[in-house]
C-alpha cells in the first residue's frame, strides 16, 4: 500500500486508461490528479506535493520536447520540466505502454515500466515502492536542508562568539574608563552590525543615568555623552532596566510600552537593554538598537549578556584603577605638601637652634665681663677693713659673691654645651685616676653631705687602673652626676660610688675600661625618661625654682648637666647611661648612673 496521502499525477489522453488506473489505485488510497492540459498540469504540480507521475507513453509523447509549441505536446514538455538542470528526475515515473523507445525518456532517470495491458498488482507494487522512495527522498532532502541551515547558524554563532571573546580580551587591556567605554560600544556596534550601541552609567550621587559613550551605524549620533535620563521621571527602556535590574528586549519598539522615541535615532526598530552588573552592583546598562524588527535571536541575547557581564567587570576594573590612581595622586600631593611643611618646620627649627646658640654665645660673652667686675668689687669690699670688722656687712657681700659664682658656673655650662654642639670641645688628655677626680670634688661637697645628712659610700675606687683623660672635663662630669645624686635624694639618704675594671678581646686586641657607677637612694627615674634626660635643656625640675641651690633636694637646674656629661664622656670615646626601677617620690627607688671610659684614648 502506498503511503497515506501520496499524490500521483496521471498524464494520459485516454479516458479508459485513466479510469482503469484510478480504479486500481483506488484500493491503495492514493490521490490521483489527471489534468487535461499543460496549464492545469503545471498548476497541480506547483500547488501539490506530487510524489509520483504515471505517464501513458502511448498518448502523451507525440513529439520531442523541443517542439512543444502546441497544447498537444505540452504534456511531453511537462515531463521535461520534471527533471532538474542536471538531468535528474525530481520525482519518479511509471511509464505505461508497450513502446518505451521514446526520445523524451532520455530525460528521465528514475523510471519504472508497466506494460499494457496493466496487471493491477504490478502497478500497485510499483506505485507503492516509488511513493515510498520519493517520501524517503523528500525526508532526506529536508534533513539535508536543515543540516545546512544549522551549519550556517552555527558558523554565525561561532563567529559572534569569537568576536565577543576578542572584544572581551581587548577591553580587559584598557584601563582608561572613557577610552574603554568608547571602544566597547564601537566594537559591538561594528562587529555585530547594530544600528546604535550605547553605554549608560548611573551616578552614585544623583542616581541619574548618564550616556557615557555611543556608536551609531554610519555616522555620529545627535545623542551626545552627557545626556541624562532620570529614573521615575523619564519613561524609557533604559530607566526600566535600571529600576528592575534585569534585561529588557523589545523585538518591535513600535509596539513597546516603554520605548522612548527620539529624533536622534529615527531608524530604531528593535531594542535590547542589558544591565551592567559587577558583584551585585548595578553600574548602568548597555543598550543595543537595531533598524530591523525581530532581529535579536535568543542566542544573540545570550552572547550579548556574556559580553555585558565582561564589560561590567572591565568597567569596574577601570574605575578601581582610576580610583587607585586618583588616591595615589592625592597621596603624592599630600606627601609633597607634608614634605614641604616638614622642610619648612625643619628650616625654622634650624633657625631657632641657631638663634639659641647665638643667644647663648652673646649671653656668655656679655655676662662674663660685668660678672668679673661684680666679683672683683665684691672681693675688694670683703677685704675692706670695715667689712672685716662688721659681720653684718660681710653677709651680703658673701651673698653677692656666691650668686656671681653660680652665674659663672651657669655661663660655663652654656659655653661647654656650645662647644659640644659645635664639636669644638678640645680634650687635654693626661694620665689620671678616678680617685684624682673624685677627691677634690667630694672634699668640696663634704659640708653638703653633712647638712643634708647624706651617707657617702665609696667602693673599689682606689684600685681602679689609671686612665687617659681630661681632668677638668671629667671633673665636670662627676660633679654633675654627684650633684644630681644629692639633689634628687631626700635628706638622710645614701650615695654609693663604686667602680670596676672591664676588658674584652676584640679581634685579638685587648680593650680595657673602667666603669664607675653613682647610685643614689633618691626619687628615681621613670623608664620613658631614662634616655630623654640626656637631651639638652631637659629638666623635670620646677622652672620657678631655677635659682635655688644646686644641691638642695629637688632644686632646679637649667637641664644642661646630663647633656654636658654625655658630650664629655662621648668625647672620651666612652658611654654614659642611667638605670632606675622607676620614679616614685614616696618610696624612693633610687637611680644609678654609669660611666664607661676606655683606659686609653685613640688618636
Ligand atoms: P637639671 O638637674 O638641671 O634639671 P640635668 O641634665 O642634670 O638637669 O638632669 C636632667 C633631669 O634628669 C633632671 O631634671 C631630673 O629629672 C633627672 N635626673 C638627673 N639625675 C637624677 C637623679 N640622680 N635622680 C633622679 N632624677 C635625676
Whole-number Å distance, alpha carbon 484 to ligand 1 midpoint, is 6
pLDDT reading at 69 higher than 60: no
Quote the pLDDT of residue 55.
Answer: 85
pLDDT reading at 548 higher than 70: no
| Closest residue by CA, ligand 1 atom 25 | 524
3 state DSSP class of 272? strand
Q: How far apart are CA 270 and CA 256, in angstroms?
A: 9
Quote the pLDDT of residue 68.
Answer: 43
Atom of ligand 1 nearest to the CA of 583: 25
Q: Which of 416, 551, 562 to mutate to test the pocket of ligand 1 (most atoms within 8 A of CB)?
A: 562
Whole-number Å distance, alpha carbon 126 to ligand 1 midpoint, is 131
pLDDT reading at 104 higher than 70: no
Pair 505, 471: CB distance under 8 Å: no
Quote the pLDDT of residue 526.
Answer: 95
pLDDT reading at 582 higher than 90: yes
Q: How far apart are CA 572 and CA 475, in angstroms?
A: 13
Whole-number Å distance, alpha carbon 123 to ligand 1 midpoint, is 136
Q: How far apart are CA 237 and CA 247, in angstroms?
A: 9
Q: Which of 409, 488, 589 to mutate to test the pocket of ligand 1 (most atoms within 8 A of CB)?
A: 488
| Closest residue by CA, ligand 1 atom 19 | 484
Minimum mean pLDDT among 306-320, 356-370, 514-528, 579-593: which range? 356-370
Angle of the 71-81 helix axis to the 38-47 helix axis, nearest 10: 30
pLDDT reading at 374 higher than 70: yes
Task: Identify whether 122 is preceded by a cis peptide bond (ω within 30 of 0).
Answer: no
Atom of ligand 1 nearest to the CA of 563: 6
Whole-number Å distance, alpha carbon 422 to ligand 1 midpoint, is 23
Ligand 1 pocket, Cβ-based, cut-off 6 angstroms: 480, 484-485, 488, 520, 522-523, 525, 533, 538-541, 557-563, 591
Whole-number Å distance, alpha carbon 419 to ligand 1 midpoint, is 21
- Please give the C-alpha separations between residue 112 and each of 51, 131, 161, 352, in angstroms, as whole numbers: 14, 12, 51, 124
Atom of ligand 1 nearest to the CA of 593: 23
| Closest residue by CA, ligand 1 atom 14 | 539
- Please give the C-alpha separations between residue 257 and each of 199, 225, 254, 354, 399, in angstroms, as whole numbers: 22, 25, 8, 82, 108
* Band of pLDDT at residue 546, cut at 50, 70 and 90: very low
Quote the pLDDT of residue 460.
Answer: 94
| Closest residue by CA, ligand 1 atom 12 | 533
- Give pLDDT tens digits for 383-398: 888 888 888 888 888 8
Whole-number Å distance, alpha carbon 469 to ligand 1 midpoint, is 24
DSSP, res 219: B
3 state DSSP class of 458? strand
Whole-number Å distance, alpha carbon 420 to ligand 1 midpoint, is 19
DSSP secondary structure string, 19-55?
A: HHHHHHHHTTT-EEE--SSHHHHHHHHHHS-EEEEEE
Quote the pLDDT of residue 86.
Answer: 67
Q: Which of 539, 543, 576 to mutate to test the pocket of ligand 1 (most atoms within 8 A of CB)?
A: 539
Q: Is 226 left (phi over 0), alpha (psi -120 to 50) or beta?
A: left
Q: Which of 414, 484, 547, 587 to mutate to test the pocket of ligand 1 (most atoms within 8 A of CB)?
A: 484
Whole-number Å distance, alpha carbon 366 to ligand 1 midpoint, is 28
Whole-number Å distance, alpha carbon 157 to ligand 1 midpoint, is 88
Quote the pLDDT of residue 281.
Answer: 85
| Closest residue by CA, ligand 1 atom 3 | 557
pLDDT reading at 205 higher than 60: yes
Q: Which of 454, 528, 533 to mutate to test the pocket of ligand 1 (most atoms within 8 A of CB)?
A: 533
- The stretch 217-243 carries a mean pLDDT of 87
Quote the pLDDT of residue 464.
Answer: 96
| Closest residue by CA, ligand 1 atom 8 | 559
Whole-number Å distance, alpha carbon 540 to ligand 1 midpoint, is 7
Atom of ligand 1 nearest to the CA of 541: 14
Pair 285, 244: CB distance under 8 Å: no
- The stretch 525-541 carries a mean pLDDT of 87
| Closest residue by CA, ligand 1 atom 23 | 485
Whole-number Å distance, alpha carbon 483 to ligand 1 midpoint, is 9
Q: How far apart are CA 100 and CA 452, in angstroms?
A: 157
- The stretch 546-552 carries a mean pLDDT of 57
Q: Hey, what's the torsion of the CAs at 8, 9, 13, 15, to 10 degrees?
A: 30
Q: How far apart are CA 55 and CA 290, in angstroms?
A: 54
Quote the pLDDT of residue 61.
Answer: 57
Atom of ligand 1 nearest to the CA of 534: 6
Atom of ligand 1 nearest to the CA of 557: 3
- Give pLDDT tens digits for 116-172: 888 998 888 888 888 888 888 888 888 998 998 888 888 877 877 777 777 777 777
Q: How far apart are CA 90 and CA 60, in angstroms?
A: 19
Report CA 8 to chain centroid distance, whole Å. 77
Dihedral of CA 101/107/112/116: which sign?
negative
Whole-number Å distance, alpha carbon 572 to ligand 1 midpoint, is 22
Amino acid at each position: 500500500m502506498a503511503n497515506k496521502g501520496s499524490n500521483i499525477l496521471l498524464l494520459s489522453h485516454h479516458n479508459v486508461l485513466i479510469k482503469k488506473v484510478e480504479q486500481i489505485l483506488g484500493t491503495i488510497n492514493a490521490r490521483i490528479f489527471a489534468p487535461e492540459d499543460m496549464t492545469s498540469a503545471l498548476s497541480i504540480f506547483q500547488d501539490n506535493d506530487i510524489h509520483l507521475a504515471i505517464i501513458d507513453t502511448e498518448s502523451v509523447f507525440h513529439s520531442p520536447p523541443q517542439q512543444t509549441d502546441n497544447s498537444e505536446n505540452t504534456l511531453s514538455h511537462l515531463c521535461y520540466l520534471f527533471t532538474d538542470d542536471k538531468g535528474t528526475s525530481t520525482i519518479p515515473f511509471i511509464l505505461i505502454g508497450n513502446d518505451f523507445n521514446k526520445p523524451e525518456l532520455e530525460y528521465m532517470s528514475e523510471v519504472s515500466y508497466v506494460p499494457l495491458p496493466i496487471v493491477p498488482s504490478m502497478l500497485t507494487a510499483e506505485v507503492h515502492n516509488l511513493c515510498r522512495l520519493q517520501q524517503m527522498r523528500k525526508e532526506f532532502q529536508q534533513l539535508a536542508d536543515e543540516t545546512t541551515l544549522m551549519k550556517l547558524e552555527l558558523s554565525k554563532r561561532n563567529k559572534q562568539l569569537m568576536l565577543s571573546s576578542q572584544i572581551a580580551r581587548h577591553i580587559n587591556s584598557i584601563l582608561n574608563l572613557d577610552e574603554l567605554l568608547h571602544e566597547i560600544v564601537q566594537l559591538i556596534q561594528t562587529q555585530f552590525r547594530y544600528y546604535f550601541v550605547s553605554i549608560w552609567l548611573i551616578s552614585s550621587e544623583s542616581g541619574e543615568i548618564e550616556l557615557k559613550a555611543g556608536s551609531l551605524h554610519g555616522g555620529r549620533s545627535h545623542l551626545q555623552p552627557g545626556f541624562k535620563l532620570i529614573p521615575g521621571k523619564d519613561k524609557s527602556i533604559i530607566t526600566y532596566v535600571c529600576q528592575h535590574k534585569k534585561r529588557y528586549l523589545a523585538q518591535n519598539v513600535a509596539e513597546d510600552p516603554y520605548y522612548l522615541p527620539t529624533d536622534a535615532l529615527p531608524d530604531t526598530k528593535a531594542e535590547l537593554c542589558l544591565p551592567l552588573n559587577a558583584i551585585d552592583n548595578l553600574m548602568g546598562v548597555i543598550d543595543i538598537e537595531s533598524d530591523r524588527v525581530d532581529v535579536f535571536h535568543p542566542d544573540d541575547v545570550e552572547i550579548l549578556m556574556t559580553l555585558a557581564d565582561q564589560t561590567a567587570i572591565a568597567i569596574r576594573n577601570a574605575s578601581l584603577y582610576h580610583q587607585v590612581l586618583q588616591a595615589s595622586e592625592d597621596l603624592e600631593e599630600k606627601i609633597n605638601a607634608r614634605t614641604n611643611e616638614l622642610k619648612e618646620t625643619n628650616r625654622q627649627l634650624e633657625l631657632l637652634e641657631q638663634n639659641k646658640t647665638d643667644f647663648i654665645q652673646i649671653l656668655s660673652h656679655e655676662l662674663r665681663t660685668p660678672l668679673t667686675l661684680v666679683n672683683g668689687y665684691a672681693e675688694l669690699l670683703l677685704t675692706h677693713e670695715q667689712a672685716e670688722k662688721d659681720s653684718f656687712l660681710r653677709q651680703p657681700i658673701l651673698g653677692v659673691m656666691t650668686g656671681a659664682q653660680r652665674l659663672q658656673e651657669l655661663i660655663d655650662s652654656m659655653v661647654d654645651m656650645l662647644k659640644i654642639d659645635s664639636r669644638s670641645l678640645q680634650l687635654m688628655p693626661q694620665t689620671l685616676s678616678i680617685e684624682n677626680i673624685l677627691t677634690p670634688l667630694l672634699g668640696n661637697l663634704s659640708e653638703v653631705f653633712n647638712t643634708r645628712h647624706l651617707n657617702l659610700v665609696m667602693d673599689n675606687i682606689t684600685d681602679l687602673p689609671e686612665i687617659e683623660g681630661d681632668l677638668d672635663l671629667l671633673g665636670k662630669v662627676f660633679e654633675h652626676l654627684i650633684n644630681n645624686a644629692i639633689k634628687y635624694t631626700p635628706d638622710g639618704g645614701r650615695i654609693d660610688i663604686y667602680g670596676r675594671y672591664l676588658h674584652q678581646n676584640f679581634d685579638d686586641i685587648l680593650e680595657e675600661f673602667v666603669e664607675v657607677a653613682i647610685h643614689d637612694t633618691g626619687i628615681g627615674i621613670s623608664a620613658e625618661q631614662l634616655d630623654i634626660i640626656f637631651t639638652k635643656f631637659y629638666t623635670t625640675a620646677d622652672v620657678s625654682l631655677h635659682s635655688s641651690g644646686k644641691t638642695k633636694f629637688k632644686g632646679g637646674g637649667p637641664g644642661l648637666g646630663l647633656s654636658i656629661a654625655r658630650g664629655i664622656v662621648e668625647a672620651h670615646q666612652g658611654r654614659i647611661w642611667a638605670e632606675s626601677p622607676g620614679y616614685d617620690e614616696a618610696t624612693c627607688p633610687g637611680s644609678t648612673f654609669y660611666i664607661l671610659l676606655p683606659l686609653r684614648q685613640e688618636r
